[in-house]
Amino acid sequence: MLGNIIVYVIVGVVLILTGRSLYRILTGKNNGCRCGEGGCPFSGSCDNSLQKVKLQERIST
């Protein structure tokens, strides 16, 4: 009985966090990383031409 309650609580937390994440993505409130941003762990995986465009945009502003 106690084991079932623990499992239900864990599954509930996972569902809440998944729903929150989907909501933030769909409403545009997610401040996810973009190409060329240093704080992003995937910033090195972007296309080099796209990184050059982002760099030029930063320089021109």
Do 33 and 41 contact (CB within 8 A), yes or no?
Answer: yes
What confidence score (pLDDT) does residue 2 get? 94
Q: What is the pLDDT along the chain (61 residues), one digit of tens a residue?
A: 999 999 999 999 999 999 998 988 888 776 555 555 555 555 555 555 555 666 666 666 5
Do 33 and 46 contact (CB within 8 A), yes or no?
Answer: no
Do 32 and 43 contact (CB within 8 A), yes or no?
Answer: no
The DSSP call for residue 60 is: H
What confidence score (pLDDT) does residue 36 get? 52
What confidence score (pLDDT) does residue 30 get? 62
What confidence score (pLDDT) does residue 42 get? 53
The pTM score is 0.48
